[in-house]
Amino acid sequence: MLPVGIDKISFYTSNYYLDLRTLACAQGTDPEKYYVGIGQEKMGMPAHDEDVVTMAASAAYPLFEDEQSKHISTLLFATESGIDQSKSAGIYVHRLLGLNQNCRVVELKQACYSATAAVQMACALVARQPETSVLVIASDVAKYELDSPGEATQGCGAVAMLIKANPRILEIDAEVGNHTEDVMDFWRPNYLKTAIVDGKYSTKIYLQSLKKAWLNFTQASDLGFADLSHFCYHLPFSRMAQKAHKHLSRVNKSNLEPAQIEAQIADSLFYNKLIGNSYAAALFIGFISLLEKGSSDLGGKKIGFFSYGSGCVAEFFSGTVVAGYQQYLFKEQHQSMLESRQALDYEQYIVLYNTPDPQRGESVTIAEDSTGKFRLAGIANHKREYVAR
């Protein structure tokens, strides 16, 4: 069977961020709690005219500059901060990108895990029809109550991946390890704008699920801990990945030095520290960070991935980085996007946090505030109007 996996991968985040030093100062908290304790520096905040649709379309747009979209058989849209209970956010993206009308579109949800489900389903579809491609997009806005422990772990971002046969970035292995368990560590009832989270419990369940998914993975795969050169974890905040990787190395009785353990994940953390949690997108933005921020050539290396979605579903899977992957990255675009973002002061952050959400069908025109290729221009009669720049 032909290898299947990620052929191209790109991410997008909004043009605004709040430095966690600014948040700490407003709260009277020691900034080191955020910079060191949870390992986060900044968090992305969506502009008034930005949401999961505009971020998703902006993430996917670069993938199609030299691509024939007619080969896209399916668009899988993963999110837990969707904008409609019925219509898939992916349909707006399908139009904005000009995808062909024979392409099916569906939205998937299982907290931060759903993008991994989408990638695995996409691989299965492409394995059946190797001449086709599947577009997987994950896009989320992480929002918690003001003055709650989760507030410093907010963020926003989208990742877009083209899944193809003979991919140029990552060949994904068929063997996976899963763990599913009905737990209430983090959830958001339909009537709430912010997530409810039992923070300490959620970190405990994350680590327990890692061990269980890993043990299931080792039953399915011939690979062991020592065969994997680098690891990417779901990133609610970067310290979580550091704790997780130490935990996994203990589970495997690895005799690596602490610095070697840290080196296996360090490059995957850079972008998340600057963006914050992007829920379903976070694991794969971490993978982009590993590819783009690392100084060594990862061609031919085996990577381990741990995906975690509260509630909970966890998956451990693996893949091989394809030699020559560097020439297909969007490294300069990503770095210039991050460098050109604008810092918010605390009052501006509160205004964005409280962005009006018209719910009575009133007509609202939204002023230009974002800088991406696509924006939310207005809402009228309960319909959202998206436009390209």
Of the candidate residues 149, 300, 324, 356, the single one contacting ligand CAA (CB under 6 A): 149
Q: Which residues pair with 230 in a beta bridge?
A: 303
Nearer to ligand CAA, 284 or 330 (CB): 284
Give CA–CA dist 379/364, Å, rounded: 5
CA 316 → CA 55, 121, 123, 134, distances in Å?
27, 15, 16, 21
Among candidate residues 315, 318, 317, 319, the one with its CA nearest the CA of residue 110: 315
Of the candidate residues 153, 178, 221, 289, the single one contacting ligand CAA (CB under 6 A): 153
Which of the following is catalytic: 41, 80, 107, 151? 80
Among candidate residues 142, 140, 141, 138, the one with its CA nearest the CA of residue 159: 138
Is residue 41 annotated as a catalytic residue, yes or no? no
**Residues 345 and 22: beta-carbon distance below 8 Å:** yes
Residue 200 contacts ligand CAA per CB under 6 A: yes
Residue 181 contacts ligand CAA per CB under 6 A: no
Nearer to ligand CAA, 33 or 293 (CB): 33
Which of the following is catalytic: 230, 234, 245, 334? 234
Which of the following is catalytic: 50, 107, 112, 179? 112
Mark the segment that binds ligand CAA (CB under 6 A) among 197-205, 223-231, 251-259, 332-340: 197-205
Contact string 239-278 vs ligand CAA (x = CB under 6 A): -x------------------------------------x-
Is residue 234 annotated as a catalytic residue, yes or no? yes
Chain residue at closest Cβ approach to ligand CAA: 37
> Taking CB under 6 A as the criterion, which residues in 89-118 touch ligand CAA?
112
Residues in contact with ligand CAA, total (CB under 6 A)? 26
Give CA–CA dist 145/122, Å, rounded: 35
Q: Is 144 helix (H, G, I), strand (E, B) or coil?
A: coil
Is residue 123 annotated as a catalytic residue, yes or no? no
All residues at 6 or more sequence positions from 137 whose CB lies less than 8 Å from its CB, including other chains: 56, 59, 60, 75, 76, 77, 78, 90, 93, 158, 159, 160, 161
Q: Is 306 helix (H, G, I), strand (E, B) or coil?
A: strand
Nearer to ligand CAA, 73 or 202 (CB): 202
Give CA–CA dist 18/36, Å, rounded: 17
Residue 177 contacts ligand CAA per CB under 6 A: no
Q: Is 187 helix (H, G, I), strand (E, B) or coil?
A: strand
Annotated catalytic residues are 80, 112, 234
Residues that bind ligand CAA (CB under 6 A): 30, 32-33, 36-38, 112, 149-150, 153, 185-186, 197, 199-200, 202-203, 206, 234, 236-237, 240, 277, 279, 308, 310
